[in-house]
């Protein structure tokens, strides 16, 4: 069942997003499982406190036992009693380039995951469904690698200074012009770390007396940047435009809390693709709202740049909109370009302001030259300027892989969240024992997946997250799908009853979302 949104012609093609509801029996059994684990957690904590069992986790020293306790909150309880038991599915060391296949170092634990020892063997050619390698640029051979090696021999690896002092290389200037041309904006600025791009630049843009409207499921870097800035933060429900419009109306009508003065700036923080849900932001509606209520938009395209759109230019191109409508376009080079770092693009006055006022430009070391060259080569390849059609082929291959993989998983009967076109595919597991079991069974069958549990997701909605890549061929995907189906039958993961929650799509007037009740 596809829900086609026809909001006064804002969307040029169908927007198919679905979040199937948790089956009631599965939810009850998940709570039962967590109840059993909590009881055993209390028992183990009791044994550790009365010294019947050796305590291997971090505790306070003897002299500090009478101080305010450090490790008694739920997060630490969860960490030592639940996370430790299934810890071998995370932090797996890999020892090759994270392409379509990767080598994983084998490790065993003799004391139930408190310590690990390496057996010395390496598990070769594990199918990599966890790396953010959307366009397949993570390679150790080819044009990108040769260009980066040449720059490494010319400039060395370290920059040894910040951007404002002596760390502004000509390579950085070249990269920024290229990024601005790629995005279709006036000017751009790049930073050495993607997380720091968000958390250090939002405080430079907004301050006290401003309002930040941030989506419920925004990434930690956006949340940290918003909190550091000192502005008032209000949260709207995930991808829900009625909630956002209500908040905007309240902000304009009532102003600041005590003084009732108008807000200095209203900034809307959204992401292109949300990595835990696989959902795509409703950008045409957000831009229509932004123009109507005269606020600013900060779009974080960490996962969507390179992965969406007919030529890989991100979520703005996917919806066919004008890049100049988005005031601050932010993105990272980690995911689709096989490098590290982030960028911010926008009008020239904005970027010139950020060059002097951003904390990251003043205090953080600038990007390393081989990494800059990797981005330049991969971006030129994506735009088609190096003379080959490799970029276009990669983008099309990724779109095909996405559609094929999602269709096959849905047909098998798994519950998959998110939009039909997003290359991030979350598969719901729900029960805590299945998180550990899924990770281990998949590794036994030579497929590496990322499973996600409590702090990153709500407690009963644990999931396995597949990240598709243009480097995956159809044979690799077929092998992976066969194994996933086998493990799904073994662990009873095929919960879907093909009953979708209907999206709140009602045909509205183009710019107004009048609601009689909340």
Partner 1 sequence: MDFKRVKDYFYWLYFQYLLITCSYVLEPWERSMFDTILVTVLAMVLYTAYVFIPIHVRLAFEFFSQMFGGQPESTI
Residue ranges in contact with partner 1 by CB under 8 A: 29, 32-34, 36-37, 40, 43, 82, 85-86, 112, 431-434, 436-437, 490-492
Q: 343, 361, 368, 357: which is closest to 165 by C-alpha?
A: 361
Whichever of 40 and 74 has its CB closer to partner 1, that residue is: 40
Burial of 284 (0-12, 13-18, 19+ CB in 10 A): buried
Q: CB 86 → partner 1: shortest distance, Å? A: 6
Residues contacting residue 309 through CB under 8 Å, at least 6 positions apart = 315, 316, 317, 318, 395
Strands (E), 333-372: 342-346
Rounded Cα gap, residues 90 and 197, in angstroms? 26
Q: How far apart are the two ends of the chain, measured CA to CA in Å?
A: 26
Q: CB 76 → partner 1: shortest distance, Å? A: 18
Rounded Cα gap, residues 75 and 448, in angstroms? 27
Q: CB 285 → partner 1: shortest distance, Å? A: 41
Q: CB 491 → partner 1: shortest distance, Å? A: 6
Q: CB 40 → partner 1: shortest distance, Å? A: 6
Whichever of 228 and 490 has its CB closer to partner 1, that residue is: 490
Whichever of 89 and 128 has its CB closer to partner 1, that residue is: 89
Q: How far is CA 48 from CA 57, 75, 79, 223, in A?
A: 10, 18, 15, 36
Whichever of 89 and 373 has its CB closer to partner 1, that residue is: 89
DSSP 164: T
Q: CB 476 → partner 1: shortest distance, Å? A: 28
Whichever of 47 and 160 has its CB closer to partner 1, that residue is: 47
Q: Tokens in use for 431?
A: 């029960």
Q: 333, 363, 335: which is closest to 203 by C-alpha?
A: 363
Cα angle, residue 504 at apex, residues 501 and 509 outer, rounded to 5°: 160
Q: How far is CA 185 from CA 330, 345, 349, 438, in A?
A: 11, 6, 12, 44
Pairing of strands 266-271, 232-236: unpaired
Whichever of 18 and 460 has its CB closer to partner 1, that residue is: 460
Q: CB 436 → partner 1: shortest distance, Å? A: 6
Find the helix packing angle between 432-444 and 24-49, rounded to 10°. 90
Q: CB 438 → partner 1: shortest distance, Å? A: 10
Whichever of 85 and 107 has its CB closer to partner 1, that residue is: 85
CB 209 within 8 A of CB 264: yes
Q: CB 25 → partner 1: shortest distance, Å? A: 10
Whichever of 34 and 78 has its CB closer to partner 1, that residue is: 34
Q: CB 278 → partner 1: shortest distance, Å? A: 25
Whichever of 78 and 343 has its CB closer to partner 1, that residue is: 78
Q: CB 434 → partner 1: shortest distance, Å? A: 6
Burial of 127 (0-12, 13-18, 19+ CB in 10 A): buried
Q: How far is CA 156 from CA 90, 150, 159, 168, in A?
A: 33, 10, 8, 14
Whichever of 44 and 292 has its CB closer to partner 1, that residue is: 44
Reduced 3-state DSSP string for 268-289? EEEECEECCCCEECCHHHHHHH
Burial of 205 (0-12, 13-18, 19+ CB in 10 A): buried
Measured in degrees and rounded to the nearest 5, phi and psi for residue 154 equal -90, -45
Whichever of 88 and 317 has its CB closer to partner 1, that residue is: 88
Whichever of 362 and 491 has its CB closer to partner 1, that residue is: 491
Q: CB 432 → partner 1: shortest distance, Å? A: 6
Rounded Cα gap, residues 90 and 376, in angstroms? 32
């Amino acid at each position: 069942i596809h829900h086609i949104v026809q909001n006064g012609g804002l969307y040029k093609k169908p927007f198919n997003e679905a979040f199937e509801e948790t089956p009631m029996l599965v939810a009850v059994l998940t709570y039962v499982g967590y109840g059993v684990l909590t009881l055993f957690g209390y028992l183990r904590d009791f044994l550790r406190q009365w010294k019947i069992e050796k305590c291997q986790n971090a505790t306070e020293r003897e002299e500090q036992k009478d101080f305010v306790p450090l490790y008694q909150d739920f997060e630490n309880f969860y960490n030592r009693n639940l996370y430790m038991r299934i810890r071998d599915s995370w932090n797996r060391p890999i020892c090759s380039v994270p392409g379509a296949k990767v080598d994983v170092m084998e490790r065993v634990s003799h004391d139930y995951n408190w310590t690990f020892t390496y057996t010395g063997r390496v598990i070769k050619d594990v199918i990599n469904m966890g790396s953010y390698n959307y366009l397949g640029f993570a390679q150790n051979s080819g044009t990108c690698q040769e260009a980066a090696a040449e720059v490494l021999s010319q400039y060395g690896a370290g920059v040894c200074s910040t951007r404002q002092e002596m760390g502004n290389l000509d390579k950085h200037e070249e990269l920024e012009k290229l990024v601005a041309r790629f995005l279709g904006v006036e000017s751009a600025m790049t930073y050495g770390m993607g997380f720091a791009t968000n958390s250090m630049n939002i405080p430079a843009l907004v301050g006290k007396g401003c309002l930040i409207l941030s989506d419920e499921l925004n990434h930690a870097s956006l949340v940290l940047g918003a909190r550091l800035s000192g502005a008032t933060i209000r949260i709207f429900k995930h991808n829900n435009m009625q909630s956002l419009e209500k908040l905007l109306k309240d902000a304009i009508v009532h102003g600041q809390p005590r003084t009732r003065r108008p807000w200095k700036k209203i900034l809307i923080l959204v992401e292109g693709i949300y990595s835990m849900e696989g959902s795509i932001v409703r950008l045409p509606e957000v831009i229509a709202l932004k123009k109507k209520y005269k606020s600013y938009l900060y779009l974080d395209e960490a996962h969507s740049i390179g992965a969406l759109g007919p030529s890989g230019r991100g979520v703005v191109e996917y919806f066919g909109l004008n890049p100049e409508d988005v005031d601050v376009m932010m993105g990272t080079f980690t995911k689709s370009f096989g490098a590290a770092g982030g960028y911010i693009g926008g009008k020239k006055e904005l970027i010139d302001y950020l060059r002097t006022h951003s904390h990251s430009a003043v205090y953080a070391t600038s990007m390393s030259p081989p990494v800059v060259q990797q981005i330049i080569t991969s971006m030129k390849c994506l735009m088609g300027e190096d003379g080959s059609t490799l970029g276009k082929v990669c983008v099309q291959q990724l779109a095909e892989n996405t559609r094929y993989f999602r269709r096959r998983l849905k047909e098998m009967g798994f519950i998959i969240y998110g939009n039909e076109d997003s290359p991030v595919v979350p598969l719901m597991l729900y029960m805590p024992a299945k998180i550990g079991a899924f990770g281990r069974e998949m590794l036994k069958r030579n497929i590496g997946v990322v499973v996600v549990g409590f702090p990153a997701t709500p407690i009963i909605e644990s999931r396995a997250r597949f990240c598709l890549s243009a480097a995956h061929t159809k044979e690799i995907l077929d092998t992976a799908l066969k194994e996933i189906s086998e493990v799904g039958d073994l662990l009873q993961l095929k919960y879907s009853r093909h009953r979708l929650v209907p999206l709140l799509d009602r045909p509205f007037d183009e710019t107004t979302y009048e609601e009689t009740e909340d």
